[in-house]
Chain A
Amino acid sequence: MLNMDMSQYLDVFLEECKEHLVNLNEKLLELEKNPQDLSSLNEIFRAAHTLKGMSSTMGFNDMAVLTHHMEDVLSYLKEGVIKVETPIIDTLFDCFDRLQVMVGNIQEGKPPVDNTDLIEMLESIKKGEGNSASSEPGDRSSVVTPEHEDKEHAAYVSMPFEFNQYDLTVLREVQTRGLNAYYIAVKVAPDCLMKSVRAFMVFKSLETDGEIIKTHPPAQELDEGKFQDRFHLILVNQLDEDTIRQRINNISEVEPEVVQLIDLNSIQKTGADAQADQRPAVSPPTQAAAAGEKAQEDSFRSSKVKQTVRVDIEKLDNLMNLVGELVINKGRLEQIGLNQHRGDLNEVIEQMERITSDLQNVVMNVRMVPIEQVFNRFPRMVRDLAKELGKEVNFVIEGKETELDRTVIDEIGDPLVHLLRNAVDHGIEYPEERRQKGKPTAGLVRLVARHEGNNVFIEVSDDGKGLDLDLIRRKAVEKGLATAQEADNMTAAQVADFMFRSGFSTAQNVTDISGRGVGLDVVKNKIESLNGDIVVDTVWGQGTTFKIRLPLTLAIIQALLVKVGDETYAIPLSSVDETTMISKNDIKMVQSQEVVLLRGKVLPLVKASYLLECPEHGNNEDIMYVVVVRKGDKQLGIVVDSLIGQQEIVIKSLGRLLTGIPGVAGGTILGDGAVSLILDPGTLV
């Protein structure tokens, strides 16, 4: 009768496990940095405890046992029986790793893991340092199961059921067939995390040879975990009371509070006597209890990280595409509306516009994810790498709340891993070397993300030895990428750019600098495939900064449509500062560069028809339209033939065959069905 599926909980379980693991990892790192930090220790303890509860609920005993032992050690740490020391932290990290493996195994349906090695380590930590018999972890008071008070409640528990005529018929039938009908109240431990699962397990166990004919609260609410610490049911079977109790007792975190044979006569009486007699008896205590539990539940909720739904990214993409089509068609409708001059039509179109833009925002937001997701795994990675190499590294993350489109998030991880590894491995010097150079022994590696206009910038920087540009120059000449003279005349940025050439630093030249180049071309390709770019900035002896620019890939943007010759182009509004009209006479020449004075400032001008290699056209009118765009920190005036107006456009990729055309950011489909190109002022000139 209940259609509950365990796999449904498995998803929730995995999702929550991952959240707790992330938290655990973060706090472990904090604790390592600051061993006196009791709050992170508490957090770790909580995470371990929660994981233990959840995994035992779901029957993943390997995980439950390991977390239980972790909890023991953690409680010793909390009580100060043992001190926070590196080997202990390392062990805890190992446990964390193992937990991650286990979660992965569960997800992939692999068998449980043998954790005896870790458990022994945890045991020896406990024994080795905490042999003062004073505190037996078994009676630690951190989590009290308030059993006693609930025993008192039990007295008040009575059947919350009302029986209608149908139920009574069923019960009578049961009796005539020689079966027993039981009223059962099951109490769930107050700190039970997955109550619905517990309910499900109880039901499953009881339904093997019986039938549950009624529940309170209704099955649906049980399914959603919408109940306090107990639920009630009417069970029909042949078993005796003790067997039922035993069965329920076999499931952890629940206990049978009442198992009572239903006396049909008494039911009829209560049924007839109306609820007046029964209700008040039940209500006061449950309400009081409910209030308390509510509060408890609320605090539990707020401490929970987030409620999430996992959605296949493909579905989101589909949704996004559909919204894109909708926006295109809305644009067409608007054009029709302009020609029709009909009040009612325009009204509907306006409504449509509001709805589509809301829809669009929602969909966009769904796809936006804080970059934290990617960044979170880095502190651990950097720490491990530094330890392995015997270096000291301070790792600083900034702007992890910066939001990016999901598609970008999924792709950006690997390039960042690469850059960070490079920074630690090749950038940061060994402590001794740093001391000699007069630098602090601990190197600094910074990972910074921030929004800027329609882009997200991610910087990976280190204060290590920097790049040996001369060596790169020599290497470039050696490889025939440039002549000696060319190389000498190149700027630092141009030289550093060689590192992104594929195969530039292959096997044999993995010396001081060149290890840095390994795979950097892969990094660059990846970033360019995301329509971003990467530049490197380095000062010999002082460090290196890789700066990645990524588009938000807002698939829908506001753009200014302009005409150049008879072609229509779209310029993202985000890079347009203003538009203005000038007369031919306003144009002045400064060193063969056309400029115009705009409110006293000199604005360089370029003709779009020239930039875009338009076929010649005879626009010799005196008035010209100028779109003032921002390019880096400079302004530039692009001369166009006319301005069409502002419009929402859907960015469509031009496909793999047309990537990397300077100045063209993509295409869009206009209201009339024609393709128009989106200009990227950043790379146009």
Chain B
Amino acid sequence: MKEIQVVAFTLGSQEYGVDILDVQEIIKVLTITRVPRAGRFIEGVINLRGNVIPVFNLHKRFGVPPVEDKGEARIIVFQFEDTRAGIIVDGVSEVIRISVDDIEDAGKVYQNLDADFIQGVGKVKGRLLLLLNVKKLLGLET
């Protein structure tokens, strides 16, 4: 039975998952420098060991109100070929294995436009994880 490993994280009250193979690392939130005139969803840039990396704000992207307690907030850094980018999340919980059979096609669940970058919905022990296609989310793939 085929299964994938995802990094599960929370944004507001919703749980999400991203393919672990896309994730380069997970870091605590560093000083973020705002980038004027960049897209609305770009929180800014950070210095990751000498490299400047853009960080996306998924709260704005998904219309999730920001949470009060930022203590658990993390930046998940992705790497696709030579492009790196991070997203801010409210908390990273664990790495979960999900069997492919337990992934529901996103189209059935979501009908709005945003469904484009939602790959599917993973069902794990009664929890529902929205699995993101990060490449599409970041605009690296259309």
Contact = CB atoms under 8 A, between A and B. Distances in A.
B33 A677 contact: yes
A661 B39 CA distance: 9
Contacts of A664: 35-38
A319 interface: no
Interface stretch (B10-18, B40-48, B57-65): B40-48
Interface in B61-119: 82-85
Contact of B139 (A614, A654, A657): A657
A611 B37 CA distance: 9
A582 B33 CA distance: 29
B53 A655 contact: yes
Contacts of B44: 675
A674 B33 contact: yes
B9 to A, nearest CB: 20
Contacts of B122: none
A662 interface: yes
Interface string A655-673: 1111001111011010001
A613 B36 contact: yes
Contacts of B53: 655
A493 interface: no
Contacts of B124: none
A170 interface: no
Nearest to A329: B50
Nearest to B33: A675
B33 A657 contact: no
A501 interface: no
A445 interface: no
Given A663-B36, A677-B35, A654 B50 contact: no
A663 B138 contact: no
A641 B139 CA distance: 35
A394 interface: no
Contact of A674 (B47, B82, B83, B85): B47
Nearest to A670: B47
B50 A674 contact: no
Interface centre among A613, A655, A675, A677 (most CB of B within 10 A): A675
A677 to B, nearest CB: 6
Interface in A629-685: 652-658, 661-664, 666-667, 669, 673-677
Given A612-B36, A661-B37, A661-B38, A654 B31 contact: no
Nearest to A609: B36
Contacts of B31: 673-675
Interface residues of A, number: 28
Nearest to B81: A656
A667 B52 contact: yes
Given A673-B47, A675-B45, A675-B46, A655 B37 contact: no
A328 interface: yes
Contacts of B45: 654, 658, 667, 675, 677
Contact of B33 (A567, A614, A656, A662): A567
B136 interface: no
Nearest to B85: A657
A669 B34 contact: no
Nearest to B45: A675
A662 B37 contact: yes
Interface of B is mostly: strand
Contacts of B52: 652-655, 666-667, 669, 675
A325 interface: yes
B120 interface: no
A675 B51 CA distance: 9
B35 A654 contact: yes
A666 to B, nearest CB: 8
Contacts of A661: 35-38
A669 B31 CA distance: 12
B1 interface: no
A663 to B, nearest CB: 6
B47 A657 contact: no
A667 B33 contact: yes
B140 A657 contact: yes
A133 B121 CA distance: 90
Nearest to A651: B52
A120 B126 CA distance: 83
Contacts of B50: 321, 324-325, 328, 652, 669
Contacts of B33: 567, 667, 674-677
Given A673-B47, A675-B46, A655 B35 contact: no
B37 A669 contact: no
B137 to A, nearest CB: 11
A613 B83 contact: no
A503 to B, nearest CB: 16
Contact of A613 (B37, B47, B51, B82): B37
A655 to B, nearest CB: 6
A325 B138 CA distance: 28
Contacts of A654: 35, 45, 52, 54
B141 to A, nearest CB: 12
Interface in A67-110: none
Interface centre among A324, A614, A658, A674 (most CB of B within 10 A): A658
Contacts of B38: 658, 661, 664
A319 to B, nearest CB: 15
B13 to A, nearest CB: 28
B34 A663 contact: no
Nearest to B42: A658
Contacts of A673: 31, 47
A669 B85 contact: no
B102 to A, nearest CB: 32
B47 to A, nearest CB: 5
Nearest to B32: A675
A324 B51 CA distance: 11
B118 to A, nearest CB: 20
A657 B83 contact: yes
A107 B42 CA distance: 48
Nearest to A614: B36
Contact of B47 (A321, A567, A675): A675
Contacts of B84: 655
B45 to A, nearest CB: 5
Interface centre among B33, B42, B54, B85 (most CB of A within 10 A): B33
Contacts of B47: 669, 673-675
Given A325-B50, A666-B52, 6 more contacts: A567-B33, A654-B52, A655-B84, A664-B37, A667-B45, A675-B52
Interface of B: 31, 33-38, 42, 44-47, 50-54, 82-85, 138-140
15 contacts: A324-B50, A612-B37, A654-B45, A658-B42, A658-B45, A661-B37, A664-B38, A666-B52, A667-B52, A669-B47, A669-B52, A675-B31, A675-B47, A675-B52, A677-B36
| Nearest 9 Cβ contacts at the A-B interface | A612-B36, A667-B52, A675-B33, A652-B52, A656-B83, A613-B36, A675-B47, A675-B45, A658-B54
